[in-house]
Amino acid sequence: MWNAVTDCPDDKSDLFDIDALIKAGELLAAYDKARTFLKSQPHSLSMRHRAVLCLARAGALEQAQKEYNRLGLDAITDNEDILALGGRVLKAIALEETGTQRHRLAMASADKYAQAYQKTGGYFTGINTATMSLIAGNKDRAMTMAGKVLASLPNVNDARAETTYYQEATRAEALLLLGLREEAKGHLATSIACDPKNYSARAGTLAQLKLIENALDQNPQWLDAFRPPNAMHFTGHMFDARHDKGPHNENAIIERVTRLIHEEKIGFGFGALAAGADIIIAETLLALGKELHLVQPAPDDAFIQASLIPFGPDWHDRFQFCKKRAATISYVNDGRLIPMALTWPSPAELQWGMLSSGREPLAASPFSSQFGMGNRSIFRRGPHMMLPAGNRPDVGKSSIPSRECAMLPSIIGSTQPNRHALRSNAI
């Protein structure tokens, strides 16, 4: 059991690094860094908070709730961030439920936020008390709290862009709860203008406003105009360009990827850098000025031996070119490369998890694409990825049906949240 409710004076630089990772959507890396710090400084309140926050934002809700209790955060009653985190975990769990259970958990979340608000008067906990009260079915409490928060918000005079963003976003949320939609739109636009590249914060704000509109039986379509760029998970066939008429195939892939990026308004791409379509897609993203986020299944030496060298000498330089220009690089493991048949789900699950699960850390509408190298040209849209029969179709609660399929020379995509794209053994 945790007893100390103290912070550590030597965790500020680590906190800065972790907060930067969280802001970038690198929740796995942030969580690992927080856990590593807690091994040597187990009483750091800030690190305990960040560890649970990462789990909650990544959608590991059951684990987040367990860690919140195990780390002693449930016993803390005088810290707004800790109390708000408890409300956040309950909120996320509530939003996965329906009916009476959803209302019950939403009210528990609202009460947790209210406990923090009563002690500190902070606008973050106040507005969440209001919104979760609405979700729980208590509209009167929601409007009362929204009015209090609106009256307490300071004028926009903070030099820090992120602080101003949250103040204006909170103002927009309070106005929407009070039914003042046009005024809410104006303050939402102001908040985004204050910190235009804080896509993580914007996606969270839009999700919150959509939640309110749905609870009020209003059409949330107006929010689409404020959405950040979409994110794409990509994967494709490995091939040896010397034997597969690479230039011809490459031009076809580049053309299809370019069209897809423009049509889906892609701003971020998540994937690996295997020889063939992976590298071509990554190069295309970079050429179009988009962010490349790499999730490699193994350290470079092992990965290069397995996924580059067997497919010809030209891929290595292209691999290095893309790697140097990647916005972030993550590695699934730090050991030897295990046969792909055993390991392929992990990189794909992590890549997809960084941009989906409905919590949208970087973008409003995750998109997953699989590029094939066969003789036919197919473009397929819809909510499902196609996988060989018998393969594990899914992680978590979502459901992706398995279907018989050969090597599909296609772009197979999903624009539906909560869908996990996996890579078939045929690739």
Question: DSSP characters for 293-356?
Answer: EEEESS-HHHHHHHHTGGG-TTHHHHHHHHHHH-SEEEES-SS----HHHHTHHHHHHHHHTT-
Q: What pLDDT, in 10s, does the model give residues 324-379?
A: 999 988 887 654 444 433 333 344 544 445 554 433 344 445 444 554 433 332 23
Query: What pLDDT sits at residue 365?
Result: 52
Residue with more model confidence, 48 or 339: 48
Kindly report the CATH number that applies to the domain delimited by 230-414: 3.40.50
Domain ranges of the chain: 12-226, 230-414
Mean pLDDT for 177-189 is 97
User: What is the b/e burial string over 278-287, where b = at least 16 CB atoms within 10 angstroms of the residue's CB?
Assistant: bbbbbbbbbe
Q: What are phi and psi of 414, to 5 degrees?
A: -135, 125
Q: What per-residue confidence (pLDDT) applies to 288?
A: 97
Higher pLDDT, 72 or 389: 72
Could you report the per-residue pLDDT of 53-63, keeping only the tens digit for each? Answer: 999 888 888 89
Of the candidates 125, 173, 123, the one whose C-alpha atom is nearest the C-alpha of residue 152 is 123
Portion of the chain with pLDDT greater than 70, in percent? 72
More confident residue, 182 or 395: 182
User: What pLDDT band is residue 11 in, cutting at 50, 70 and 90?
Assistant: low
Write the single-letter amino acid at 19: D
Q: Do 214 and 202 contact (CB within 8 A), yes or no?
A: no
Q: Between the ranges 13-17, 125-129, 365-369, where is the mean pLDDT highest? A: 125-129
Q: Average of pLDDT values for 246-271?
A: 84
Residue with tokens 């279907």: 403
Is residue 251 scored above 80 in pLDDT?
yes
Q: Which pLDDT tens digit goes with each residue over 83-103?
A: 999 999 999 999 999 999 999
> Measured between alpha carbons, how far is 168 from 158 in angstroms, rounded to an integer?
11
Least confident stretch, 152-156, 211-215, 315-319, 379-383: 379-383
Q: ∠ CA 386-279-356 to the nearest 5 degrees?
A: 50
Q: What is the pTM of this model?
A: 0.66
Q: Are strands 367-371 and 328-331 parallel, antiparallel or unpaired?
A: unpaired
The full 3-state SS of 138-200, as one line of letters, equals CHHHHHHHHHHHHHHCCCCCCCCHHHHHHHHHHHHHHHHHCCCHHHHHHHHHHHHHHCCCCHH
Q: What does pLDDT average to over the chain?
A: 77
Q: Comparing C-alpha atoms, which of 185, 164, 189 is closest to residue 175?
A: 185
Using one digit for the tens of pLDDT, what is the confidence trace for 198-211? 887 898 899 999 99
What pLDDT does residue 274 have?
Answer: 94
pLDDT confidence of residue 396:
30
C-alpha to C-alpha distance for 365 and 356, rounded to whole angstroms: 8
Superfamily of domain 12-226 in CATH is Tetratricopeptide repeat domain (1.25.40.10)
Same fold, 12-226 and 230-414: no
Q: Which tops the pLDDT comparison, 355 or 32?
A: 32
pLDDT in tens, 142-174: 999 999 999 999 886 666 788 899 999 999 999
The pLDDT, as a whole number, for residue 141 is 98
Query: Mean pLDDT: which of 82-91, 378-387, 396-405 is highest?
Result: 82-91
Sheet-wide strand order for 328-331: 328-331, 291-296, 266-271, 230-236, 367-371, 410-414, 378-380
Across residues 290-300, what is the average pLDDT? 90
